[in-house]
C-alpha cells in the first residue's frame, strides 16, 4: 500500500512537470496592472513589455556618466551599478514582473558584485556602459561599437551634468540625443531618457540649477519623438521638503538648499564634500521614483508657470513670470529663481506668494549677464549668448507647506530678438577666391513688429549700421561678406565675431568667436599655439614657423604606405624632471572615418602618449572603442602605437609617434591625393611641479595646440566646441603638394 502511494505521488509530480513544460506560463506581476499602466508600457516599452509579461530574457544597457555608473566617494559603494538609481529601477521592475533572480550586472568592475543577492530564477541582464566625465555627445561613441552588440531590449540614457560643466551647446546636446533615439528606433530597442540629477555647483544664491537647461532640452526632444522622459532632477527636488506658511523667502530657500544637500552629503568624508555624486539613499529614492514615473507618469502639479523675457539692456534681462494656483485651495509659499547655467544670474532670487484657488500672481525677476571682459570702447563684455537655441530655458524652485518642486515655463522666447548661426562649420575655404560669408538669423521673441538697426563685426572690420524689421515672432536670415586674406605665413587665426543690435535706443550684442585654420599636407611644418592665448576678445595670427631664438613647439605629419607619423619639436623648452611621472603628454585626435563622413557630425577621441623627461619610449594609454571616429568597433592594442622622445644635435627635444595604417581600417588611404583627408588635432601638455605636493600638474600655460575652438576667461574654459566633436578638427591631406584651403568655425 505504501509503495502504491509513492507511485501515485511520483506520477502526480511527473504529470505536473510535463504540464508545466507544455502549458504557457501565466504572466505574473507584483500587483495587477491597471489599463492605464498597460497602455503606458505598450507605448513606451513596445519590445520589452511583452517579454516582461512572459518573464523572458531581457537585456538592458545604460549609457551615462559617473552618477549613472554609481561612482561614490565611499570606497565600498564606489562603482556599484546595482545600487545606483538605474540598478534600483531595474530591481523594482524585476520585482513587479516576478523575476525572482532580480538583476544580474554583466562585466562588473573589479571588486563589485554581479548580483546583490544570489536568488535563483529568471533575471534581468544589466550592462552599464556609462563612463565618468562623459557628455551626451560621447554616447555617439557607443552607438556603433558596444551599445547594440548584444541586441538590447531597452536602453537607458542619462547625460547632462558634464555637458553643463563643459559648456556643451544645447544644440549639440539635442543633436546627439536625437541620434541616440534614431539609432534605438532603427534597432527596435526601447529607450528611456532620464534627466541629469541635481548638483550643487551652479551660480547664484540657489546653486542647484546648472543641469536644468539640459533636462529641458531632453524633455523637448523626447516629446517630439514619443519617447519616455523621466525627470530625475524634479524627483530629487522633493528632498527640499515643506515650509511653514509665512517663512521669510530667503530663509525658505536657504532651508531648501540645505535639505537638498542631503542627496550628496556623504557622511564618511564630510571633510571632503562631494557636490555631485548621489548618496546611496538618494540613488534608491531616484530609482524608485523612476519606476513610479514609468508605471504611472508624473503627478500633476498644483501650479503652472508661463513667462516672457526681454532685454533691458546689454547687461540685464527681465523675466515676467505668471504663477498660477491650479488647485481648489489657497496656496502660499516661496518661489526662487535658479541661474541659467553660468549665463544668467538672478538678482533677487526668491519671492513669497499667497494665491487663492485658481488665481495668478505676476512676479518679476531680473537676471544679470556675468562680465568676462571689456570691449575696446571700455564697455563690459559678457559671456557669449546661447548658440543656436532660440529658447531661454528658465527654472524655478517652489516650496510650500506640502513639498518642494521645480517649475519650468515652456517656449520662452527672448524679446526683442535672439540670433542663431546656421553655417558654423565651413571647409575648403580659399583666400582670395571669394569672400568669407557669415550667415545668421534674427528670431523675434516679441508679439509686435520689431524694427531697428544692426551692425556686424569680425575682428577690426565693422560694418555700417543697417536697418531691419522682423514680423511678430518671426525669423529673417541675413549675411555679410568679409575679405578673407590671411598672410602667406599664417597657419591659424582667431577673431571675435559680433552682431550689435539697436532697438528703441537700447543696444545689445551677440558675441561669438571665429577660428580659421589652414589645411595641412604631409611634411608641412607648423607652429603650435599656446592655449592661453585663446581668450575672449583676443585676436590670434599664428605663424607657421617659430621666429629664431623663440621658445615653442612645431608640428608636422608624415606618412608612408604603412603608417602615419606625428612629429613634435620642442624648441628652447626645458622639461621638468618628475622622475617616472609624465613630463610631457601628447594627445593626437584623428578622425579616420570614410571620406564621405570626415569633417561631418561625429565623435573622435584622442590617443594619449606620455613621456618622462628623459630620452626613451613613451607609453600610450589604453584606447576606447571609436577612438578614430564613429564606427571603429575593434579594440586596438596601445602597444601598436610606438613613440619616442629624443634629444636632437642642437639640444632641442623631438617626439615621434607612429600610428599604423591597419588601425585606420575605415579610411580609404589614398596616399598622394589631396582629396584623401583626415580630421586632426594635436595637444601637447608640459607638466609643471606642484609647489605643495611636488607632483606634476598640467596648466593652461603649459598647453600647446594645433587647433583650439575654445573661449577662455581667467584661465577657465567658458565656451567652445566640445573636444570630442569631429567638426572641431583641422584637415590633414594625404598629399605633399601645398594647398591654400582653410576650415572656419564659428563658436
**CA-CA distance, 65 to 71, in Å (whole number)?**
9
Whole-Å CA distances, 433 to 246, 484, 740, 743: 70, 9, 10, 14
pLDDT of residue 537: 64
pLDDT in tens, 368-396: 999 988 877 777 888 888 888 889 999 99
pLDDT of residue 23: 34
Closest CA to 705 of 693, 690, 720: 720
**Average pLDDT of span 237-264:** 95
pLDDT of residue 388: 84
Please state the three-class secondary structure of 380-425 as a single string. EEECCCCCCCCECCCCEEEEECCCEEEECCCCCEEECEEEECCCCE
pLDDT of residue 269: 54
pLDDT of residue 433: 75
**CA-CA distance, 702 to 551, in Å (whole number)?**
12
**CA-CA distance, 468 to 658, in Å (whole number)?**
55
Domains and CATH numbers, the chain: 38-296 (3.40.50.1110), 303-415 (2.60.40.10), 424-516 (2.60.40.10), 520-742 (2.60.40.1190)
- 651 C-beta neighbours (distance < 10 Å), count: 9
**CA-CA distance, 346 to 344, in Å (whole number)?**
7
**CA-CA distance, 193 to 156, in Å (whole number)?**
6
Q: Say whether 408 sits in a helix, a strand or coil.
A: coil
Q: With bands split at pLDDT 50, 70 and 90, how would you rate the model's confidence at 77?
A: confident
Could you tell me what percent of the chain has a pLDDT over 70?
A: 95
Please list, in sequence order, all residues whose beta carbon lies within 8 angstroms of the beta carbon of residue 21, skipping any fewer than 6 positions away: none
Omega before residue 670 within 30° of 0, cis: no
Q: Retrieve residue 397's grid coordinates.
A: 524652485
Q: Exposure of 734 by Cβ count < 10 A (0-12 exposed, 13-18 middle, 19+ buried)? A: buried
Q: With bands split at pLDDT 50, 70 and 90, how would you rate the model's confidence at 536?
A: low
pLDDT in tens, 446-487: 999 999 999 999 998 999 999 999 999 999 999 999 998 888
**CA-CA distance, 72 to 654, in Å (whole number)?**
41
648 has a pLDDT exceeding 80: yes
**Cβ proximity of 68 and 160 under 8 Å:** no
**Average pLDDT of span 231-254:** 96
DSSP characters over 15-66: HHHHHHHHSPPPP--SSPPPHHHHHHHHHH-TTHHHHHHTT--EEEEEEE-H
131 has a pLDDT exceeding 50: yes
**CA-CA distance, 365 to 388, in Å (whole number)?**
24
**Cβ proximity of 406 and 395 under 8 Å:** yes
721 has a pLDDT exceeding 90: yes
Report CA dihedral (351, 354, 358, 360) to the nearest 10 degrees.
-40
Q: With bands split at pLDDT 50, 70 and 90, how would you rate the model's confidence at 97?
A: very high
312 has a pLDDT exceeding 60: yes
7 has a pLDDT exceeding 60: no
**676 DSSP assignment:** -
Please list, in sequence order, all residues whose beta carbon lies within 8 angstroms of the beta carbon of residue 740, skipping any fewer than 6 positions away: 430, 431, 518
pLDDT of residue 268: 54
Please list, in sequence order, all residues whose beta carbon lies within 8 angstroms of the beta carbon of residue 9, skipping any fewer than 6 positions away: none
**pTM of the model as a whole:** 0.93
Radius of gyration from C-alpha coordinates of the chain: 29
Q: Say whether 321 sits in a helix, a strand or coil.
A: strand
Q: With bands split at pLDDT 50, 70 and 90, how would you rate the model's confidence at 93?
A: very high
Could you tell me what percent of the chain has a pLDDT over 90?
A: 80
pLDDT of residue 84: 96
Residues 41, 45, 51: CA angle, nearest 5 degrees: 95
Q: Retrieve residue 209's grid coordinates.
A: 540649477
Helices (H), 261-394: 280-296
13 has a pLDDT exceeding 70: no
Number of separate helices (H) and strands (E) present in the chain: 12, 44
Helix (H) or strand (E) holding 355: strand 350-355
**CA-CA distance, 386 to 639, in Å (whole number)?**
42
Closest CA to 404 of 327, 299, 333: 333
**Cβ proximity of 647 and 631 under 8 Å:** no
pLDDT of residue 549: 72
108 has a pLDDT exceeding 80: yes
What are the backbone dihedrals phi and psi of residue 227, each rounded to the nearest 5 degrees, phi first? -105, 150
Among 23-37, 398-412, 652-666, the least confident range: 23-37
CA dihedral (265, 268, 271, 272) positive or negative: negative
**Average pLDDT of span 136-142:** 96
Closest CA to 588 of 652, 664, 514: 664
**CA-CA distance, 240 to 405, in Å (whole number)?**
8
Q: Exposure of 710 by Cβ count < 10 A (0-12 exposed, 13-18 middle, 19+ buried)? A: buried
pLDDT of residue 714: 77
Looking at the DSSP assignment, which residues form a beta bridge with residue 70?
none
Q: With bands split at pLDDT 50, 70 and 90, how would you rate the model's confidence at 25?
A: very low
Number of residues written out for the chain: 747
Helix (H) or strand (E) holding 668: none
**Cβ proximity of 420 and 390 under 8 Å:** yes
Strands (DSSP E) found in 236-349: 303-311, 316-325, 331-337, 345-346
**Cβ proximity of 169 and 99 under 8 Å:** no
pLDDT in tens, 417-452: 999 999 899 999 998 777 899 999 999 999 999 999
608 has a pLDDT exceeding 50: yes
Helix (H) or strand (E) holding 561: none
**CA-CA distance, 256 to 209, in Å (whole number)?**
13
**CA-CA distance, 573 to 701, in Å (whole number)?**
13
Closest CA to 456 of 428, 426, 423, 482: 482
**Average pLDDT of span 680-693:** 96
Q: Retrieve residue 639's grid coordinates.
A: 602597444
488 has a pLDDT exceeding 90: no
CA dihedral (397, 399, 404, 408) positive or negative: negative
**CA-CA distance, 546 to 321, in Å (whole number)?**
56
Q: Say whether 367 sits in a helix, a strand or coil.
A: strand
**Cβ proximity of 61 and 86 under 8 Å:** no
Helix (H) or strand (E) holding 215: helix 212-225
**Average pLDDT of span 588-617:** 97
pLDDT in tens, 27-47: 455 669 999 999 999 999 999
**Cβ proximity of 332 and 325 under 8 Å:** no
**Which residue is it, cell 527636488?**
237
Whole-Å CA distances, 479 to 76, 386, 416: 58, 19, 20
**CA-CA distance, 154 to 625, in Å (whole number)?**
21
Q: With bands split at pLDDT 50, 70 and 90, how would you rate the model's confidence at 719?
A: confident
pLDDT of residue 24: 38
What are the backbone dihedrals phi and psi of residue 640, each rounded to the nearest 5 degrees, phi first? -75, -5
Amino acid at each position: 500500500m505504501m509503495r502504491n502511494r509513492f507511485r501515485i505521488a511520483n506520477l502526480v509530480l511527473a504529470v505536473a512537470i510535463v504540464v508545466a513544460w507544455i502549458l504557457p506560463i501565466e504572466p505574473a506581476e507584483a500587483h495587477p496592472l491597471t489599463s492605464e499602466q498597460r497602455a503606458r508600457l505598450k507605448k513606451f516599452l513596445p519590445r520589452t513589455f511583452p517579454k516582461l509579461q512572459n518573464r523572458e530574457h531581457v537585456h538592458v544597457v545604460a549609457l551615462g556618466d559617473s552618477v549613472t555608473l554609481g561612482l561614490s566617494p565611499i570606497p565600498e559603494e564606489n562603482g556599484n551599478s546595482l545600487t545606483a538609481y538605474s540598478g534600483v529601477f531595474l530591481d523594482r521592475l524585476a520585482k513587479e514582473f516576478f523575476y525572482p533572480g532580480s538583476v544580474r550586472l554583466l562585466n562588473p568592475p573589479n571588486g563589485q558584485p554581479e548580483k546583490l543577492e544570489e536568488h535563483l530564477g529568471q533575471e534581468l541582464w544589466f550592462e552599464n556602459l556609462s563612463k565618468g566625465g562623459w557628455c551626451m555627445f560621447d554616447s555617439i561613441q557607443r552607438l556603433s561599437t558596444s551599445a547594440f552588440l548584444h541586441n538590447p531590449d531597452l536602453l537607458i540614457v542619462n547625460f547632462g551634468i558634464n555637458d553643463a560643466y563643459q559648456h556643451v551647446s544645447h544644440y549639440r546636446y539635442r543633436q546627439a540625443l536625437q541620434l541616440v533615439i534614431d539609432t534605438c528606433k532603427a534597432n527596435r530597442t526601447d529607450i528611456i531618457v532620464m534627466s541629469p540629477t541635481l548638483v550643487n555647483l551652479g551660480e547664484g544664491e540657489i546653486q542647484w540649477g546648472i543641469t536644468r537647461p539640459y533636462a529641458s532640452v531632453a524633455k523637448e526632444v523626447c516629446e517630439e519623438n514619443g519617447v519616455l522622459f523621466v525627470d530625475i532632477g524634479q524627483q530629487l527636488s522633493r528632498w527640499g521638503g515643506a515650509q511653514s506658511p509665512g517663512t521669510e523667502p530667503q530663509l525658505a530657500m536657504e532651508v531648501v538648499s540645505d535639505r537638498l544637500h542631503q542627496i550628496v552629503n556623504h557622511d564618511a568624508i564630510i571633510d571632503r564634500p562631494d557636490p555631485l555624486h548621489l548618496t546611496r539613499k538618494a540613488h534608491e529614492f531616484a530609482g524608485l521614483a523612476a519606476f513610479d514615473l514609468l508605471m504611472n507618469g508624473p503627478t500633476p502639479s498644483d501650479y503652472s508657470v508661463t513667462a516672457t523675457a526681454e532685454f533691458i539692456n546689454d547687461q540685464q534681462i527681465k523675466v515676467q513670470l505668471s504663477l498660477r494656483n491650479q488647485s481648489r485651495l489657497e496656496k502660499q509659499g516661496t518661489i526662487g529663481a535658479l541661474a541659467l547655467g553660468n549665463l544668467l544670474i538672478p538678482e533677487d532670487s526668491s519671492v513669497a506668494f499667497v494665491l487663492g484657488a485658481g488665481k495668478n500672481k505676476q512676479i518679476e525677476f531680473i537676471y544679470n549677464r556675468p562680465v568676462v571682459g571689456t570691449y575696446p570702447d571700455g564697455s563690459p563684455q559678457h559671456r557669449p549668448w546661447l548658440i543656436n537655441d532660440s529658447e531661454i530655458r528658465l527654472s524655478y524652485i517652489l516650496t510650500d507647506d506640502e513639498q518642494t518642486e521645480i517649475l519650468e515655463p515652456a517656449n520662452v522666447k527672448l524679446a526683442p530678438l535672439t540670433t542663431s548661426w546656421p553655417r558654423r562649420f565651413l571647409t575648403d575655404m580659399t583666400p582670395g577666391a571669394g569672400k568669407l560669408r557669415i550667415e545668421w538669423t534674427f528670431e523675434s521673441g516679441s508679439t509686435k513688429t520689431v524694427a531697428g538697426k544692426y551692425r556686424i563685426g569680425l575682428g577690426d572690420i565693422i560694418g555700417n549700421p543697417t536697418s531691419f524689421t522682423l514680423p511678430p515672432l518671426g525669423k529673417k536670415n541675413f549675411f555679410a561678406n568679409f575679405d578673407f586674406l590671411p598672410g602667406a605665413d599664417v597657419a591659424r587665426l582667431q577673431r571675435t565675431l559680433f552682431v550689435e543690435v539697436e532697438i528703441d535706443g537700447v543696444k545689445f550684442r551677440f558675441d561669438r568667436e571665429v577660428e580659421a585654420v589652414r589645411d595641412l599636407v604631409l611634411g608641412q611644418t607648423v607652429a603650435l599655439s599656446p592655449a592661453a592665448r585663446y581668450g575672449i576678445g583676443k585676436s590670434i595670427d599664428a605663424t607657421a614657423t617659430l621666429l629664431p631664438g623663440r621658445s615653442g613647439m612645431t608640428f608636422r605629419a608624415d606618412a608612408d604606405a604603412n603608417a602615419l607619423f606625428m612629429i613634435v619639436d620642442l624648441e628652447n623648452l626645458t622639461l621638468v624632471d618628475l622622475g617616472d611621472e609624465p613630463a610631457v603628454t601628447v594627445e593626437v585626435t584623428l578622425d579616420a572615418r570614410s571620406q564621405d563622413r570626415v569633417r561631418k557630425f561625429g565623435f573622435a577621441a584622442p590617443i594619449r602618449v606620455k613621456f618622462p623627461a628623459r630620452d626613451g619610449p613613451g607609453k600610450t594609454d589604453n584606447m576606447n572603442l571609436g577612438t578614430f571616429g564613429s564606427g571603429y568597433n575593434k579594440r586596438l592594442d596601445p602597444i601598436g602605437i610606438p613613440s619616442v622622445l629624443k634629444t636632437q644635435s642642437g639640444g632641442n627635444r623631438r617626439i615621434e609617434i607612429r600610428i599604423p595604417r591597419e588601425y585606420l581600417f575605415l579610411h580609404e588611404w589614398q596616399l598622394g591625393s589631396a582629396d584623401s583627408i583626415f580630421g586632426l588635432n594635436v595637444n601637447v601638455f608640459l607638466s609643471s611641479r606642484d609647489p605643495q605636493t611636488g607632483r606634476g600638474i598640467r596648466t593652461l600655460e603649459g598647453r600647446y595646440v594645433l587647433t583650439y575652438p575654445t573661449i577662455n576667461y581667467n584661465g577657465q574654459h567658458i565656451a567652445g566646441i566640445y573636444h570630442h566633436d569631429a567638426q572641431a578638427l583641422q584637415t590633414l591631406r594625404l598629399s605633399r603638394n601645398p594647398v591654400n584651403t582653410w576650415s572656419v568655425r564659428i563658436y
